[in-house]
């Protein structure tokens, strides 16, 4: 059985994942307003992945006889100044999520909660991928530096992104 502290940490992370989905949908909406459908697609897929992460945690808590405590989700930012700003904000957010995932793993190790430690290893590696993706896209956006042809090509590239199947994410 989970400690109360671990159950609270996972509940908090579950709510962060739901917030992340809302934040990425707000970013998707921003790009739709800017007529950048590929960028909008990228963040819509990000939102879908965050919902999948939340559901994995939801299911895990129930598997170990824990309980999800539903609570309010903070409102996301809805105003963005530029393409680069959106990605920099997303990168900072992913770094924050990484910090919280690491805290859960650290507490699991301290408590000898091997199941939770093992379960969250997938999230540890997922965060490596998330941060790397954001850093790469920020670098590409900086390379574009206002070049509309390059922006068009990047938009087309991001339009091809599809949601990862849940069975591949386990």
| Residue 170: inside a domain | no
pTM value is 0.92
| Residue 168: inside a domain | no
What is the model's pLDDT at position 163?
A: 79
Strand ranges (DSSP E) for the chain? none
| Residue 27: inside a domain | yes
CATH number of the domain encompassing residue 124: 1.20.1260.10
| Residue 74: inside a domain | no
What is the model's pLDDT at position 167?
A: 40
Q: What is the DSSP string of 23-45?
A: HHHHHHHHHHHTT-HHHHHHHHH
| Residue 139: inside a domain | yes
Query: What pLDDT, in 10s, does the model give residues 18-62?
Result: 999 999 999 999 999 999 999 999 999 999 999 999 999 999 999
Domain count for the chain: 1
Report whether pLDDT(84) > 50.
yes
- Which two structure tokens, joined as six digits, stand for 63? 């598997």
Report whether pLDDT(168) > 70.
no
Of the candidates 130, 123, 110, the residue with the CA atom closest to the CA atom of residue 60: 123
| Residue 169: inside a domain | no
> How far apart, in whole angstroms, are the C-alpha atoms of residue 105 and residue 100?
9
Report whether pLDDT(119) > 60.
yes
> How far apart, in whole angstroms, are the C-alpha atoms of residue 128 and residue 78?
26
What range defines the domain where residue 51 resides?
A: 4-69+79-161
| Residue 167: inside a domain | no
| Residue 19: inside a domain | yes
Query: For residue 164, what pLDDT band results from cuts at 50, 70 and 90?
Result: confident
Report whether pLDDT(94) > 50.
yes
What is the model's pLDDT at position 95?
A: 98
């Amino acid at each position: 059985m989970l400690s109360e502290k671990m159950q609270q940490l996972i509940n908090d992370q579950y709510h962060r994942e739901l917030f992340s989905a809302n934040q990425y949908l707000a970013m998707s909406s921003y790009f739709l307003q800017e007529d950048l459908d590929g960028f909008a697609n990228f963040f819509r897929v990000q939102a879908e992945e965050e919902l999948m992460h939340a559901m994995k945690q939801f299911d895990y808590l129930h598997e170990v006889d824990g309980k999800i405590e539903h609570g309010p989700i903070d409102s996301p930012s809805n105003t963005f100044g530029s393409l680069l700003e959106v990605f920099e904000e997303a990168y900072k957010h992913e770094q924050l999520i990484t910090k919280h995932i690491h805290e859960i793993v650290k507490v699991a190790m301290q408590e000898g909660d091997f199941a939770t430690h093992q379960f969250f290893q997938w999230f540890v590696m997922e965060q490596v991928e998330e941060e790397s993706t954001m850093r790469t896209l920020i670098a590409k956006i900086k390379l574009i530096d206002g070049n509309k042809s390059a922006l068009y090509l990047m938009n087309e590239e991001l339009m091809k992104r599809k949601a990862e199947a849940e069975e591949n994410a386990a």
